[in-house]
Amino acid sequence: MRKNLFKTKVFAPLKINDTAGKIAKYKAGTRRRGKFLTGFTLWELMIAAAISIIAIGSLLITFMNWIALNDANSNLVIAANDAQSVLEEIKTLGLSDLDAYIPLQPANLEGENITVQISAVDTWVMEVTVNVAWNEKQRNKNFRLSACIAW
C-alpha cells in the first residue's frame, strides 16, 4: 500500500492564539502537537557565533606566529650570507694579510656586528671562525660559521 504523502503536513505554522493576539514562536527541530517548528533560537545563534570567533581567533594567532617565524628565518639567512661573504674575502687574502684583516660591517640587520677569529691548525692551515651577532625583537642572536683554509 502506498501512503499518501501529500496529505501529511510536515511543516505547518502554529495557530494564532486568539486570546493573547500573538503568534507563537517557532523552534528548530522541536515538535509540538505533531507539527515541526522551524527557525533558530537566540542561543543557537550565540553558540555558532562563539564557535566562529574561537576558530577565527586561533587562525589569526597561527598566522601571526607564521609571520614572526618567517622574519626570524629571513634574518638567519641574511646573517649566514654575511658570514659567507666574510669567509670569501678571507680566502682571497694572502697569509701575511690575515693579521691586519678587519671585516666590513654591513648594516643588513639591526645592530649587526661581525667578528673574525683566526687560529692556526698547522703551518699552512688556518681555522677561521666568523661570528655574526644582531638584535632581533630586543633579543641578541648569534650565527657562527667556521672553515679551515689552507694556503
Q: b/e for 54-90, b at 16 or more Cβ within 10 A? A: eeeeeeeeeeeeeeeeeeeeebbebbeebbeebbeeb
pTM for the model: 0.64
Of 149, 82, 146, 76, nearest to 114 by C-alpha is 82
The reported pLDDT for the residue numbered 33 is 59
C-alpha grid cell, residue 78: 641574511
The reported pLDDT for the residue numbered 32 is 56
Residue 11 per-residue DSSP state:
B
The reported pLDDT for the residue numbered 17 is 52
Q: Quick one: average pLDDT of 29-37?
A: 57
Mean pLDDT of the chain: 81
Of 13, 39, 9, nearest to 27 by C-alpha is 39
**Which pLDDT tens digit goes with each residue over 54-83?**
999 999 999 999 999 999 999 999 999 999
The phi and psi torsions of 90 (rounded to 5 degrees) equal -65, -35
The reported pLDDT for the residue numbered 14 is 54
**Which pLDDT tens digit goes with each residue over 82-140?**
999 999 888 888 777 777 788 888 888 999 999 999 888 888 888 999 999 999 988 99
The reported pLDDT for the residue numbered 22 is 45
The reported pLDDT for the residue numbered 133 is 94
The reported pLDDT for the residue numbered 123 is 81
The reported pLDDT for the residue numbered 94 is 76
The reported pLDDT for the residue numbered 21 is 45
Residue 36 has pLDDT above 70, yes or no: no
